[in-house]
A and B are shown apart, each in its own frame.
Chain A
Amino acid sequence: MDNELDRVDADSLIDSIPAMVAFMAPDGTLERVNRQILDYLGAPLDELKDWAATDAVHPEDLPSVIAVWTHSVETGEPYEIEHRIRRADGVYHWFHVRGLPIRDVEGRILRWCVLQVDIDERRRDKTTIAQALADVSASEDRLRDIINAVPGFVWSAGTDGGVIFINQRWCDYTGVSLNDARGIGWTTSLHPDDAGGLATYWYALLASGESGEYEARIRRFDGVYRWFMIRAVPQHDESGQVVGWYGENTDIEDRKRAEMLLAGEKHLLGMMAGGSALSLTLEALCELVEATFDGALCSVVLVELKRPYPALEAVPRMQPGAAPNLPADLMPGADGRPVDAMCCPLAAAALSNEQVISTDLAEETRWAGWVCSALSHGLRANWSTPITSINDSVTGILSILYREPNEPSATQQNLIAQFTHLASIAIDRARNEAALKQSQAFMNKAQRLSSTGTFSWRVETDEITWSEEIYRILDLDPSVTPTFELIYTRIHPDDTLLLEEMFRRQRETAGDFEHEHRLLLPDGTVKHVHLVAHAITDKDGGLEYIAALQDVTQRRLSEEALGKVRSELTHLARVASLGALTASIAHEVNQPLAGIITNASTCLRMLGADPPNVAGALETARRTIRDGNRASDVINRLRALFSKKSITIENVDINAAAREVIAMLLGELQRNGVMLHPDFAEHLPQIRGDRVQLQQVILNLILNAIETMNKITSRSRHMRIVTGLDESQCVYLEVKDNGTGFDPQDAERLFNAFYTTKSSGMGIGLSVSRSIIEKHQGRLWATVNDTGPGAIFRFAIPPLAEIDAVTGNAQEGR
């Protein structure tokens, strides 16, 4: 009973052990297992007794398990082995199995106690670790290869940002050893312009613990900088703490250049579109070229084709364009002289319209002076490329200079083509704009000078466009939008109806029109304007008028004044002549009077003498009578000249008429020291006309000649009066002086009523004289003396010409 109880206690005892426990007989057969084994294996004890014949033990492990167990049973040595045991669901787990013999007091084995502990998890971990170890060992080698194979730079840094490791590629590129690069040593390879920005970014990144990237230039061992994208990634431990940084730098030079070029082009096109000055645009272009071509000095000169008179061939001339960094003496064109291909490669390129490449100026034999300057500035290569406009004419030269001998690569040639294309756009645009501005300025000036404005009127929409001058004529602010309402505020009230009517008509029927009307401006000014409009129809049949409006106020006022003046002209002419002749008349009368008085005095003395000298007295008395008659003649002539009321048509002997005028003017001629040379042709036919009027003309011509000779002091004054018959059988009279003459351009203006070269008002005579001669079917004109100084005035009248009906009637009315 007690035994039975013990047994029950022992069962519950082994069942409570948290492991699988089995008891074996001394011969090795299974006697008993605890509950854990039954649960794990999922089979009854009877089945388990045949374990060696089942797959309860993993087939791979079974031979060694049987061998070791057999050995322990035979020898009594403790049994220990690790093997896999199948669970109820078929999955094998690793177990650590230990068997110990339980002996009696005599040392005989009573039974074996076998403990099986599940070590599957532990066992698996171990395998993983071993695998991992093997992997790590392999990857370390691979990593080294990878690190050196990466087409960039790989590095690691500590939490403080100091570089710990950096790959060989970086060292090869920068020429800086790993030792020198450690810590912050690597920053010496950064471009000075980028170092500050990168440092700020890097420390911000360290503080945030996030990954990031930054673009910066890194110096190559030979001093050339290239752009790199620098990426940094933090390394965290299990708790998320940053324990270090890994990074990689990629060469992005090509991308960066493409971007820069694109940005540069965009900037340049923006400048052009924004209307920047050409010099600024070209300067920006030069800077872009210099940024793109390392070590290059870029400049642009402008070339303009000028066709100098009288040469027919257009000659290119160079003008400064832009040269932000070029020594001044290498910049041709400042003098604007014609281009000479011998002076510099730029000129040669301009003349040939072909690229000129000098790969080494030290070996260049052309352009000695220019090359010498270039060499003295340490420049060794030059590429001069023409910039051509759309029509293929050269508008400029893009010059690139290098400090080393250099030849352009295909890529560089492509870029140069791109740059010259940009430059040509800039130059063409600037020139077109300048030409446009100039022609606009010319037009404005021309409109201003001619007081003519232009406007267009689109009938359908009543849209009106005015030129600047219209605003000025209408006295309106140029900022207002033109409308018909606005126009009508400026029209003179008396003309408004007529104008409105005309616009109404023109609106309905297309056709050119012309109109003259007045404007009344707010300040009370009245202007006369002349409007000429031309109708055009556009392709949609819309009617538009293109019109010119001219301010004719001055002309109108002049015409009115002229009309007034003309009516008084004849009278004025006579009064003027009379005034000028007063002195001459006095002279003519005083001369014979002096003789009369002197002779009379002598006569009295001779008669009063003792004895009286009667013969002498008679002679002096006769002279007195003669001089008296002479004085009387003068008075008669004057009366004939000035007292006539109407026109008399008679046969006139031009020589006799001229002689009478000369006789009257002798005193005037003398007073002015003029030598008169009459040269009258004999047997001239008579002409029909008004003798006195013709004499007035002759008088006028002679007085004018005297007056122009007044200013002569360096030579004696001569006047020739010639009469004759010209080739068309007209009787002519010519007055020729050696005075100051006149400008041949003024030959016609002399006859203008307002033209005078004199300070007094005598000039009015020529226009009147011409009208008199024309009334006689003749002509009066002036020429410059062809044999010396002075002028010739000549009139010619057909002999016995018919006088027009009006003067003929005047004769009858006498």
Chain B
Amino acid sequence: MDAPLLISVVDDDESVRESLPDLLREFGFAVQAFSSGQDFLWSGFIEQTRCLILDIAMPGMSGPDLQKELTLRGYDIPIIFITAHGDPAERPRLMSQGAVECLMKPFSEAALLKALSAALPVS
């Protein structure tokens, strides 16, 4: 049996870091959660990460900032943005910058699964 694919979650909101990894593990993924973009960059999990679920608005480095930084460093990790700011106007912009999906909090299990399948076509 293959080792489970690693999904990294970066969100400064603790309740997201608690709840989302549990659900993802229920889906059968391995999960690492980080409270900031810096933590993720220093974690050593970048190479293994197959998909990144990334909060947009965070103090310090924002989600899009981290996305740019990863591109600069030559990583091409599929990214699913999540945001509590229910502003649909921002979605097309984020999508055009290479995100796989942009989920508005709160999002349903089905929406999350759909986004994950887009990010990881093999499974």
- The chain A residue with its CB closest to the CB of B22 is A602
Interface of B is mostly: loop
Contacts A594-B16, A597-B108, A627-B15; A667 near B84 (Cβ below 8 A): yes
* Size class of the B contact interface (CB-based, 8 Å): 20 to 34
Interface of A is mostly: helix
- The chain A residue with its CB closest to the CB of B57 is A671
Residues of A within 8 A of B57 (CB): 587, 667, 670-673
Kindly state the separation between the CA atoms of A593 and B12 in the bound complex, as whole angstroms.
16
A384 at the interface (CB under 8 A from B): no
Task: Please encode chain A, from 570 to 599, with 1 for each CB lying within 8 Å of some chain B CB and 0 for all others.
Answer: 000000000000010011101111111111
* Size class of the A contact interface (CB-based, 8 Å): 35 or more
Task: Please encode chain A, from 610 to 632, with 1 for each CB lying within 8 Å of some chain B CB and 0 for all others.
Answer: 00000010001001001100100
Indicate if the CB atoms of A591 and B12 lie closer than 8 Å: no
- The chain B residue with its CB closest to the CB of A620 is B22
B109 at the interface (CB under 8 A from A): yes
Contacts A594-B105, A620-B19, A716-B60; A606 near B26 (Cβ below 8 A): yes
A30 at the interface (CB under 8 A from B): no
Residues of A within 8 A of B15 (CB): 591-592, 594-595, 623, 626-627, 630
Residues of B within 8 A of A606 (CB): 26
Indicate if the CB atoms of B85 and A587 lie closer than 8 Å: yes
Indicate if the CB atoms of A623 and B19 lie closer than 8 Å: yes
Indicate if the CB atoms of B84 and A605 lie closer than 8 Å: no
B98 at the interface (CB under 8 A from A): no
A204 at the interface (CB under 8 A from B): no
A674 at the interface (CB under 8 A from B): yes
Task: Please encode chain B, from 20 to 45, with 1 for each CB lying within 8 Å of some chain A CB and 0 for all others.
Answer: 10110010000000000000000000
Indicate if the CB atoms of B59 and A594 lie closer than 8 Å: no
B106 at the interface (CB under 8 A from A): yes
Expressed in whole angstroms, the minimum distance between the Cβ of A597 and any Cβ of chain B is: 4
A526 at the interface (CB under 8 A from B): no
Indicate if the CB atoms of A673 and B59 lie closer than 8 Å: yes
Indicate if the CB atoms of B105 and A675 lie closer than 8 Å: no
Kindly state the separation between the CA atoms of A623 and B17 in the bound complex, as whole angstroms.
12
Residues of B within 8 A of A592 (CB): 15
Interface centre among A583, A598, A626 (most CB of B within 10 A): A598
Q: Which 7 A-B pairs have the closest CB atoms?
A: A595-B15, A594-B105, A598-B19, A590-B84, A594-B106, A593-B106, A671-B57
- Give residues in B with beta carbon < 8 Å to A: 12-13, 15-16, 18-20, 22-23, 26, 57-60, 62, 82, 84-87, 104-109
Contacts beyond the supplied A591-B105, A623-B18, A716-B60: 10 A-B pairs with Cβ under 8 Å? A586-B86, A591-B16, A592-B15, A593-B106, A596-B106, A597-B108, A598-B106, A601-B109, A670-B12, A673-B59
Instruction: List 11 interface pairs A-B (beta carbons < 8 Å), by A numbering.
Output: A593-B105, A594-B15, A594-B82, A595-B16, A598-B106, A599-B19, A602-B22, A602-B26, A606-B26, A671-B57, A673-B57
- Give residues in A with beta carbon < 8 Å to B: 583, 586-588, 590-599, 601-602, 605-606, 609, 616, 620, 623, 626-627, 630, 667, 669-676, 716
